[in-house]
Amino acid sequence: MLKIENLCVKIGDKEVLKDINLNIGVGETHVLFGPNGAGKSTLINTILGNPKYEVVKGSIYFKGKDITNMPMYERAKLGMGISYQNPPAIPGVKLKNLLNIISNREWNEIEKMAEILNFNDFLEREVNVGFSGGEAKRSEILQIYAQNPDFIMFDEPDSGVDVENVELIGNLINELLDKNKIPSDREKSGLIITHMGHILNFMDVDRAHVLYDGIIACSGHPEEILDNIIEHGYERCVECYQKKKH
Ligand SMILES: Nc1ncnc2c1ncn2[C@@H]1O[C@H](COP(=O)(O)OP(=O)(O)OP(=O)(O)O)[C@@H](O)[C@H]1O
């Protein structure tokens, strides 16, 4: 579904991503760990085609197409979606109207999902205006559900969300990424950024990567990597990476 080759990215004069290689197959969900400032948001914004991020080297392929220089709206049309960490407020636009514009589903399906998210009362409100952190996350999940993309990136879907809603959001992300289907029937893929990993208790992820100072320092089994980070911290990943390199 998504293939990244030797990607180097700059913001202004700063080289933030250095030689990133990543391959996410159809039906796979990967998770991205890394300390603050490592480049996680930069990576997903670059995949999405945000023009603020300059690709200085390397390529991004999506569904077999080279999208490295493709504008954001065309990537969205090809089936890419994102749930932002801090989505912007859109004063003057009701959530219901935005959902109608972006939706690839019937309205009754969206209403049902809004009910599951306990979010019906928010449909008449302006998008993210005065929403709490957790409410904004539920709004993002509802928008992604309506849009129904094939590849979904979630930037910290669990940050600022209370315990009950982390479970709800984790279960819904699982469903959005076809994890309730048998592996051979899965058509959706995902990339999830999480700091605490709490949401992973409710989700099925295939592979994890540690981004450290702009490089992928480690890749492997999500639970093993998370346990290692919790026990030894991120620096151990880098030591291990340097040992592998020499
Ligand atoms: N507009 C900008 N100008 C200069 N540097 C920037 C800009 N935006 C981001 N950076 C820098 O790029 C680096 C990577 O930032 P990024 O937001 O991708 O990290 P992150 O891993 O997502 O961090 P966090 O976990 O804190 O969200 C940081 O050092 C950040 O300060």
Ligand 1 centre and the CA of 31: distance in Å?
A: 18
| pTM (predicted TM-score) | 0.90
pLDDT tens, N- to C-terminus, the chain (246 residues): 999 999 999 998 999 999 999 999 999 999 999 999 999 999 999 999 999 999 999 999 999 999 999 999 999 999 999 999 889 999 999 999 999 999 989 999 999 999 998 899 999 999 999 998 889 988 999 999 999 999 999 999 888 888 888 888 899 999 999 998 999 999 999 999 988 778 888 888 999 999 998 999 989 999 888 888 888 888 877 777 667 666
Provide the domain count of the chain.
1
Residue 92 inside a domain? The answer is no
Pocket test for ligand 1, best of 9, 13, 14, 209 (most atoms within 8 A of CB): 14
Q: Which range of residues forms the domain containing residue 176?
A: 2-85+149-245
Report the CATH number at residue 171.
Answer: 3.40.50.300
* Both tokens assigned to 153: 């990136």
Residue 199 inside a domain? The answer is yes
Q: Which residues line ligand 1 (CB under 6 A)?
A: 11-12, 14, 16, 34, 36-42
Residue 98 inside a domain? The answer is no
What is the ipTM, given to two decimal places? 0.95
Pocket test for ligand 1, best of 7, 8, 11 (most atoms within 8 A of CB): 11
Ligand 1 centre and the CA of 18: distance in Å?
A: 14
